[in-house]
Structure 1
């Protein structure tokens, strides 16, 4: 957010163009430190967290956030509109999915212990329920993307450090409001079964394509005061026209939305399979307990039948109970 790129963009810039972005660094460190603390606390309680969740959180979540803020996307976000659009799309869709795959809420519950109900109370509060309702989070997501490119909000976010920070936080929070409930089991109403969540993920992937299509097909310049459209940036743009840059921006929004749609569907589908497997295990355990209860009841019912014989034997004199003396005294009595 410190001005135009220092040199023209080329293929090598994807690896060599880096800068220190205070917002990206601080957010990455906060997300990384908080998750590491939760992992340590959960392990102390005997909880072993799946390695693939940690990898998804670190690589897709924190890693992508750091790359698009401090890497080439962040360096050229004020020079090319399509770079700015790519940053918006990645922070709003890819990063939240990576963070959600890390399952931070369940990890927080594991770190606090089973007796601590603060997470459950917060999740079930009216405010959280309202914000995570599929229609609400869906509209917030679409409205936020549309506001960036069809109002002066996007231009202010590029030029102002403060507004740019607000934009990044907005994209992260709104993205998590939709992705976290879709991948979790207890943040949505009871009617949001795994098949319903799969459909919601598919619908979100389709709907996320609309802002990209609208930007790509717009007949007028949506952000006419974008810094990269100034004469000072002509030497850095490699001859890319403003109109084509805007079309590329719409293409970047569309490409990121569609590329993340399939992994999102796959993640929801895997959660569906895991949920069915857990439900099957719970049903089997319940059936086993019922069978064991019936067997114990049958045993208790059958036990008294042998009672009279045992009682008669218990009432016999001790010398008749001894096999060595039974015949002698038995014959004498006869």
Structure 2
């Protein structure tokens, strides 16, 4: 039976219990809070992680799970919540810091961070491609139809989207230890370019053909928008709402950019004002910035 017409009341009262997401969220919250008891992260950080799990659970059990089978724009809203909201909050919870502080998890976390796979996966190119390509593949390939027709595919997709968002924001925020620190200005430029990429997908869904899966979804209900309108609203959610939700992330990057520049300026001032120490009485013309640890890392000079 199709759900009743979507209204404010039905959105607040419609639920579909999903044991898979419930167990995963509970395991994540309990494990995180148990490992964070040492006080390495503050209450706000812990609250961010719990809120990320709550957003994940709500998306998989609330009205989005009920009406996502018959409305494309609801599925688009679920994508934004899982990748941009839950992913950002989980990364802001600094789970790697919590893991490294735990005696039993420290070695595994450090070993994983030093691996070639982790360095590649967390590089700007890999994380950008992961975030940009995932929605194109999800909405413009048979993958989307599979999530509508199969509960197993939908549960797996939800978990994957949360993982994609968390990995992306973990690499961009760099609030946690990362295999390689990168200047926040680079992340800000890349994030701005990614916003344009999201807009292209929104235009394609808005002006392009109506997806077959969206037409089949409309046939399951006798109320609501037409397939064309449904897909247009979903395109707007992916484009506009995605950018609005991403504003805190951009603001954080801008603040960290200024902090990185201030730290580099202080290091440069110290290097310029410190008296030169000749080596064995022989003066050297070696530029000062080659010996500055902050700048040498930035320019990859040793």
- TM-score normalised according to structure 1 size: 0.73
Larger Cα Rg: Structure 1 or Structure 2?
1
Q: How does 1:1-334 map to 2 (within 5 A)?
A: 4-5=2-3, 7-40=4-37, 43=38, 47-59=39-51, 61-112=52-103, 116-184=106-174, 186-187=177-178, 189-190=180-181, 192-218=182-208, 220-224=209-213, 227-230=216-219, 232-234=220-222, 237-238=223-224, 240-272=225-257
1:268-317 deviations in whole A, cap 9, x for unaligned? 23444566677799x6xx99xx99xxxxxxxxxxxxxxxxxxxxxxxxxx
C-alpha RMSD over aligned residues: 2.8
- TM-score normalised according to structure 2 size: 0.80
Counting matched residue pairs gives 271
Give the equivalent residue in structure 1 for 2:285.
none
1:243-288 deviations in whole A, cap 9, x for unaligned? 111111111111332112211112223444566677799x6xx99x
C-alpha displacement of 1:30 = 2.1
SS where residue 19 of structure 1 aligns?
coil
CA contact (8 A) 2:127 2:171 kept: no
Distance 1:53 1:204, change over 3 A: farther
For residues 215 and 260 of structure 1, what CA distance do their matches in structure 2 show? 20
For residues 137 and 162 of structure 1, what CA distance do their matches in structure 2 show? 26
C-alpha displacement of 1:179 = 1.1
Distance 1:134 1:57, change over 3 A: same
For residues 204 and 188 of structure 1, what CA distance do their matches in structure 2 show? 22
SS where residue 78 of structure 1 aligns?
coil
For residues 274 and 49 of structure 1, what CA distance do their matches in structure 2 show? 20
Distance 1:165 1:258, change over 3 A: same
Gaps of 5+ in 1: 292-334
Gaps of 5+ in 2: 276-302
1:98-148 deviations in whole A, cap 9, x for unaligned? 1000010011112238x9443222112111111111111211222221111
1:136-177 deviations in whole A, cap 9, x for unaligned? 121122222111111111011111122112211221222222
